[in-house]
Chains A and B, each alone.
Chain A
Amino acid sequence: QSVLTQPPSASGTPGQRVTISCSGSSSNIGRYFVYWYQQLPGTAPKLLIYRNNQRPSGVPDRFSGSKSGTSASLAISGLRSEDEADYYCAAWDDSLSGWVFGGGTKLTVL
């Protein structure tokens, strides 16, 4: 059972907007930045969002992140088939003195 809670699956059709939620607590999301990672099938994870809502260079602006209190969300607009992947949220946790990840959300583009 992961410290951060994500829905196991999400889906949408091409062009749609989908959001993925991530719920934590005061010792992680409530206190620290949230990060989002994308893992395409058979590949290593890739940083998608850092410091709650910042995109590394090369990440399309279709991807956006937000945080409020002890929850965060990732939004993907203009959904494309190549967005089909697993998405993980992460944050530092004070009480565990370590990084914690969500269980991951498998995004299917119908």
Chain B
Amino acid sequence: EVQLVESGGGLVQPGGSLRLSCAASGFTLRSYWISWVRQAPGKGLEWVANIKQDGSEKNYVESVKGRFTISRDNAKNSMYLQMNSLRVEDTAVYYCAREAPESSGMDVWGQGTTVTVS
């Protein structure tokens, strides 16, 4: 079964750090761009960052630039989101999502991991 599973969420104080992981199964992660998308409580979806297949390109939403770092380890079929200098407004469910080739959208999503900054 094609699947993404996030982990690493939790409760952290403002200014603290967390590292989220996203593990792929049922497919080879190295063939895809991967995104992190978050959803604050009761709010809509917000794209956070994405990373190219080989890690050579990374993009971030303005509000996390300089604080969050996206990375991947294709040998482990996993990708990560290092979150530093966390703020209350970073509280959200964080999803990783696979970007299908040829502009076919984010076709596989994880179940999400909850980050609470308080």
Question: Which residues of A are in contact with B by a Cβ distance under 8 Å?
Answer: 2, 32-33, 35, 37, 39, 44-47, 49-51, 54, 56, 86, 88, 90, 96-104
Residues on the A chain within 8 Å of B110, using CB:
44
| B:77-118 near A, CB below 8 Å | 95, 97, 100, 103-107, 109-112
A35 to chain B, nearest CB (A): 5
- Interface residues of B, dominant DSSP: strand
Is A99 a contact partner of B35 (Cβ separation < 8 A)? yes
Which one of A33, A46, A98, A103 lies within 8 Å of B60 (CB-CB)?
Answer: A98
Is A37 a contact partner of B95 (Cβ separation < 8 A)? no
Instruction: Check if B44 is an interface residue, CB within 8 A of chain A.
Output: yes
A54 to chain B, nearest CB (A): 8
Residues on the B chain within 8 Å of A45, using CB:
37, 45, 95, 97, 106, 109
| B:19-77 near A, CB below 8 Å | 35, 37, 44-47, 50, 59-62
Which of chain A's residues has its CB closest to B48's CB? Answer: A98
Is B44 a contact partner of A88 (Cβ separation < 8 A)? yes
Q: A96-B62, A98-B59 are in contact. Are A88 and B107 (CB under 8 A)?
A: no
Is A101 a contact partner of B104 (Cβ separation < 8 A)? no
Residues on the A chain within 8 Å of B50, using CB:
98-99
Chain B interface, number of residues (Cβ within 8 angstroms): 23
Is A33 a contact partner of B45 (Cβ separation < 8 A)? no
B58 to chain A, nearest CB (A): 10
A103 to chain B, nearest CB (A): 5
Is B112 a contact partner of A44 (Cβ separation < 8 A)? yes
Is A104 a contact partner of B44 (Cβ separation < 8 A)? yes
Is B103 a contact partner of A47 (Cβ separation < 8 A)? no
Residues on the A chain within 8 Å of B59, using CB:
97-98
Is A101 a contact partner of B109 (Cβ separation < 8 A)? no
Q: A51-B103, A51-B104, A96-B62 are in contact. Are A37 and B112 (CB under 8 A)?
A: no
Residues on the A chain within 8 Å of B44, using CB:
2, 86, 88, 101-104
